[in-house]
Amino acid sequence: MAAYKLKTKQCAIVVNRTIYLHNTTREEFTANRKWLLHELKHVEQYQRYGIIRFIILYLYETVRKGYRNNKFEVEAREAELKELL
């Protein structure tokens, strides 16, 4: 569903401390440093807010601002760049 919604063949979804991969291998995923850092930021966000609170806040942000402008996605995209510099 996430891959369809995001119009991509490959995707990763984080739930708490687990990163679920769709249409990609662990090797492909870990070789893509930006993607790995992005998903690890979501793991950190779960730890910061707790499972239930993070899911509620994430959904609220998505409904309010859309996926791209959701503050948790913005933070994850920023993490991609900070680690690469």
Of the pLDDT bands very low, low, confident and very high (cuts 50, 70, 90), residue 82 is confident
What H or E segment, with its residue span, contains residue 71?
A: helix 71-84
What is d(CA 14, CA 23) in angstroms, rounded to the nearest whole number? 15
Q: Where are the domains of the chain?
A: 2-84
DSSP H helices in 26-70: 26-31, 33-49, 51-65
pLDDT tens-digit series, residues 14-50: 999 999 999 999 999 999 999 999 999 999 999 999 9
Q: Exposure string (b/e) for 70-83, b if CB count within 10 Å is 16 or more? A: bebbeebeebbeee
What is d(CA 19, CA 1) in angstroms, rounded to the nearest whole number? 16
- Per-residue pLDDT, 9: 85
**Which phi and psi (to 5°) does residue 11 adopt?**
-155, 165
Q: Is the pLDDT of residue 1 over 50?
A: no
Statement: the pTM of the whole predicted model exceeds 0.85: yes
